[in-house]
Structure 1
Amino acid sequence: MLVKDFLTKDIPVLKSFDTVEYGLGLMDDFKIKHLPLTEDGLYRCLVSEKELLSLTGSNSTVGEAVVFAPSVTENCHLLEALSLVARYRLSFLPVISQTGEYMGGLTADRLLNALSDTTHAESEGSIVMLEMLPQDYSLSDIARVIESNHAHVLSLLSHMDSITGRLIISIKIDLEDASPVIRSFERFNYTVLFYFMKKGMVDDLLEQRMSELMYYINM
């Protein structure tokens, strides 16, 4: 998932001689708070709405008052772009060539859509969340449990709980009813924090088990 596959060239650029009013108008039209400033096709800096509003008079020119120039090259991975967008809270991230030529950019919305595709967020299936110590994490063991139930991992995300220091694993699988996978994880002593699937599947399973239990009790 490279940046070049998702960049857009529809967002206009600013020049140093453009007025503040013009820049703010473009930001309003395209619903973003950042625009690239270029000179002779080369990327110079990223201008924010906040900086334009701080300039005196709507007829003032943008100039080159800022040095802030975050960017990625077109062959970078989407996760690198996401890191910059999150770190600086950007609505637009310029994409440049190795020689500094402006190629286009990534809007936050476009990046979000690309990551949704990457993680199969809209695919049919279920999500299972596990909790474990970092040293207990084994991708191969987790995949083995899932695949033993004739399911497959569509995506896997992880983060460290800052309070407990434990690893939280979110797994998207291609089964709409994840109950067999959940039972397998519990059998292998995994801590299942949460699971998300179509409503009623687990309830129906529990109701069936309760009916079977009551049947044997009444025998």
Structure 2
Amino acid sequence: MKDIPVLKSFDTVEYALGLMDDFKLKHLPLLNENTYQCLLSEKDLLAIPSSSITIGEPVMFAPSVREDSHLHEALAIITRYGLSLLPVVSTEGIYSGAITRDKLIEALSELCNAEAEGSIIVLEMMPQDYVLSDIARLVESNNAHVINLLSHTDKDTGKLLISIKIDLEDASPVIRSFERFNYTVLYHFMEKGMVDDVLQQRMDELLHYMNM
């Protein structure tokens, strides 16, 4: 996104905090000409004794992604540091824009085919039992296709939770196949309109986690 404001060393703390408030962001990039220098946080600015002084050129951490980076990399950095946005730079360090947390969620939703019709099946298994080709083969044996697959390890049990979205609204035949081959079907969603609601809930949970 190129409409995100940027800061310069001669901007005042008050001005920077005002921009953050206007754009509902907790972070803004600091540039020197067009070169990305660092990412300033609201917390950093509030720690400065006077809001009337200029920002200067603080030496701070400068998280970023390249223009050709995958969404997963951006998600990992935003989550790790609890960022509201992440600068995008060229290989030469030239600032080209920023991706906000909200826009990242939208992009992930599109990547996950959240709007596509279908059903969701959640399997539970030990990590050593996970074989993607076996899961796909059982789905395809019922004239269905895997259109999205997400995995998550339950920290309490150590088990792997596999969320599979398939292009069948009635997933009963696929569920029966999984159960016949001793897969644990933890739960499933087949009501029309339910699938997108569930994926949206998962995205909301991810957004909540990234806000912590």
Q: TM above 0.5, one fold? A: yes
Answering whether residue 35 of structure 2 is matched by residue 42 of structure 1, we say yes
Alignment pair present for 1:113 and 2:140? no
Q: CA deviation at 1:64?
A: 2.0
Distance 2:110 2:35 in 1: 31
Q: Is the 8 A contact 1:154 1:174 kept in 2?
A: yes
1:73 pairs with 2:47: no
Which of 152, 160, 170 is the equivalent residue of 2:163?
170
Provide the residue aligned with 2:145 in structure 1.
152
Which secondary structure state, in structure 1, belongs to the residue aligned with residue 163 of structure 2?
A: strand
Name the SS for the 1:176 alignment partner: coil
Query: Is 1:84–2:77 an aligned residue pair?
Result: yes
For the pair shown, which has the larger CA radius of gyration, 1 or 2? 1
Distance 1:177 1:29 in 2: 46
Cα distance per residue 1:49-101 (max 9 Å; x no partner): 11111112221211222411100111111100000000001001001111111
Q: Tell me which amino acid in the other structure corresponds to 1:166.
A: K
Two-structure CA RMSD over aligned residues (Å)? 1.4
User: What is the DSSP-based 3-state SS (H/G/I as helix, E as strand, rest coil) of the residue aligned with 2:39?
Assistant: strand
The partner residue of 2:86 within 69, 80, 93 is 93
Counterpart in the other structure of 2:198: none
Preserved CA contact (<8 Å) 1:128 1:195 = yes
User: Which amino acid in 2 is paired with 1:39?
Assistant: N
Unaligned runs of 5+ in 2: 195-212
Where does residue 9 of structure 1 map in the other structure? 2
Alignment match, 1:27:
20
Equivalent residue, structure 2, for 1:204:
none
Unpaired stretches in structure 1, ≥5 consecutive residues:
1-7, 202-219
Of all paired residues, the percent bearing the same amino acid is: 67
Which whole-Å deviations, capped at 9, do the CAs of 1:99-147 have from their partners, x for residues lacking one? 1111111000110000000011222111100011212111111011111
Question: Is 1:189 the equivalent of 2:179?
Answer: no
- TM-score, normalised by the number of residues in structure 2: 0.88
TM-score by length of 1: 0.85
Q: Which amino acid aligns with 2:167?
A: D
Residue 104 in structure 1 maps to residue 62 in structure 2: no
Q: Are residue 58 (structure 1) and residue 51 (structure 2) matched?
A: yes
Write the letter of the residue equivalent to 2:11.
Answer: D
> Contact 1:46 / 1:66 at 8 angstroms: preserved in 2?
no
**Rounded Cα–Cα distance in structure 2 between residues aligned with 1:161 and 1:124:** 27
One-letter amino acid of the counterpart of residue 14, structure 2:
E
SS in 2 for 1:37: strand
